[in-house]
A and B are shown apart, each in its own frame.
Chain A
Amino acid sequence: MTCLPIPTSGPQKKLGLVIDLDICVGCHACAVNCKEWNTGGHSAPLTDMDPYGQDPNGVWFNRIHSFEVVDEDNDSRTVHFPKSCLHCDDAPCVTVCPTGASYKREEDGIVLVDADKCIGCKLCSWACAYGAREYDEDAGIMKKCTLCVDRIYNENLPEASRVPACVSTCPVGARSFGDLNDPTSDVSQLVADREGFDLMAELDYKPTNKYLPPRPKQNEHTVSASNKPVALTPVSTEKAGLLAQWADKVLSL
């Protein structure tokens, strides 16, 4: 059924990601490892069309966009911005689905597509504000991030590996995974401490994944009050050795 699960009174998990925009260096490793794992996982394969041709394109569950933010002082910074399914609480991609293929799991809030039911009408991709849905032209069905549902509960993997592929591979630790419904969890604490936010909160989709804002720039050492870079202090000649002082004199002639 494509109706969203009605919240029950008992404690329910709400699994999701917390992405730290301060730390992400935009290396795309999360997207590559996502593709690598998922092309053999729950929604396999992540088809590529014309991969070595003129117009290569394919299914990716995770993409990294890079933005520039210019503040009032004309000071700019680059923010790398990974984006995958946000597993919204109020997920319209689920409710618009005419077939029941798109569903939200009651037990952990993960939004999935049943590949055997999807008719490929693409309406869910129109309903998703974030562009998290990926159409597989070859299979004729919609695919999407599964939050690595085939890893996080996989008892064949060592416990430390039971996290989404993007989280396990991030070399700088910009991605965290956990239960965002539990206020004591590490991820919830992180969101509380760093004032994590929702993307496009105005649409009221109540995304589970949160983003942590870049920290303010540490400007005082490199930038003067007039916002000009401070000139480098010249190296003192006094402390140079006798030979160096002599060489300096000779060469300066």
Chain B
Amino acid sequence: MHPAKSVILFTTASGAGYGLLFLLIIGHMFGVFPADNTLAYSGFGTAFLMIIIGLLSSTFHLGRPERAWRALTQWKSSWLSREGILAIITFGPTGIYGLCWIFAPNTTISLLLIIGVAALLLCTATVYCTSMIYACLKPVSAWHNRYVPASYLALSLSTGALLLNGILHLQGKNAPLFDMITIVLILVSVIVKFYYWKHIGETKGLSTVGSATGLGSMGKVRLLEAAHTEANYLMKEMGFQIARKHAKKLRNITFISGFILPVFLISLTGITENAGIETLSVICSIFFGAIGIVTERWLFFAEAKHTVSLYYGAQSV
């Protein structure tokens, strides 16, 4: 599948944003880190910025962005529509929670708990809907499996944790427990991603050129002559080839830059006494994490094969 830059930015940025909101709110509820207004401003500010960048970026993918509001109408059948609606609703409880944190520190615990739990559920549901946009597509077997929602949720949390960890360290807030949580979340996402790669490596789509043409029972089928001489929309959109050629190298980049380096750098920030090293390594952890997640998402699109390619020379998907 063609890896559109706008869609990669949308899924990674909004994913990290919702992960950050989730951790900020649940961490505040359990008192995992010292909570003050600076943290609230920067945490909620970064999260909303990431989400808004992501949502705006997704509209650049559209042929008619001025009609984007129509995408909020078909929640009964469409995961894309559900994602859009939940993304907007989520601004409500998360925003109110942030406002209570900053402006109404005396809000009763039970009220704060209700708003907080609603916010946590909505963040999770929104990321789940994002993943289901892809996971509901039967023609793309690399997407049509339960590892897809699992990895979207895990990566949303680990990239959000990386951001929140950065914010805490840059503000000089000592939260060793959160260092540990970040490392654990990154390790969980490595495991989920590993199982995803294992799954797509071991399972093939049901469809073959034989079933796509219905000629499979007669013998071995191959494309003799394409429908036309030049590439068409379908071949450009579904027949992306480059990443599959370099899949192994790109997986290594994802693994090292997205997971190994951030874990190492976060451990370093946790143990170092030197403020300069702490700042540098925390910035580097976010930088490498970003390269890792963008490579991961690029691969997610580029590695996936669509059944349409069976009509354009592929033997199986």
A residues at B contact (CB < 8 Å): 1-4, 21, 26, 31, 55-60, 63-72, 76, 78-79, 81, 83, 92, 94-101, 117-123, 125-131, 134-137, 139-142, 197-203, 205, 211, 213-214
With A97-B74, A131-B238 given, is the CB distance from A141 to B64 under 8 Å?
yes
CA distance A58 to B110 in the complex (A): 60
Q: Give the Cβ gap from B63 to chain A, nearest Cβ, in Å.
A: 2
What are the residues of chain B within 8 A of A70 when measuring CB–CB?
A: 219-220, 222
CA distance A60 to B223 in the complex (A): 19
Partner of A201, one of B62, B211, B226, B233: B211
* In the complex, per-residue mask of B53-81: 1 if CB is within 8 Å of any chain A CB, else 0: 00000000111110110111110111111
Q: Is the CB of A126 within 8 A of B213?
A: no
Q: Give the Cβ gap from B76 to chain A, nearest Cβ, in Å.
A: 6
Q: Is the CB of A67 within 8 A of B213?
A: yes
What are the residues of chain A within 8 A of B226 when measuring CB–CB?
A: 65
CA distance A202 to B288 in the complex (A): 42
Q: Give the Cβ gap from B57 to chain A, nearest Cβ, in Å.
A: 13
* In the complex, per-residue mask of B263-303: 1 if CB is within 8 Å of any chain A CB, else 0: 00000000000000000000000000000000000000000
Q: Give the Cβ gap from A28 to chain B, nearest Cβ, in Å.
A: 8
> By DSSP majority rule, is chain B's interface helix, strand, loop, or mixed?
mixed
What are the residues of chain B within 8 A of A197 when measuring CB–CB?
A: 214
With A97-B74, A98-B84 given, is the CB distance from A63 to B207 under 8 Å?
no
Q: Is the CB of A202 within 8 A of B211?
A: yes
Partner of A98, one of B64, B70, B136, B230: B70
CA distance A72 to B219 in the complex (A): 7
Interchain Cβ contacts under 8 Å between A and B, 25 examples: A2-B77, A3-B77, A57-B232, A65-B226, A65-B227, A65-B311, A66-B223, A67-B221, A67-B223, A76-B219, A92-B138, A96-B79, A96-B136, A96-B137, A97-B78, A98-B74, A100-B70, A118-B64, A119-B68, A121-B80, A126-B137, A126-B140, A126-B238, A136-B63, A141-B63
Q: Give the Cβ gap from B45 to chain A, nearest Cβ, in Å.
A: 29
What are the residues of chain A within 8 A of B209 when measuring CB–CB?
A: 67
Beyond the given pairs A55-B231, A121-B80, A130-B212, 17 more chain A to chain B contacts, judged by CB atoms under 8 angstroms and listed by A's residue number, are A1-B74, A57-B230, A65-B311, A71-B220, A96-B77, A97-B74, A98-B78, A99-B73, A119-B62, A121-B71, A131-B238, A134-B233, A135-B237, A198-B214, A200-B207, A203-B139, A214-B218
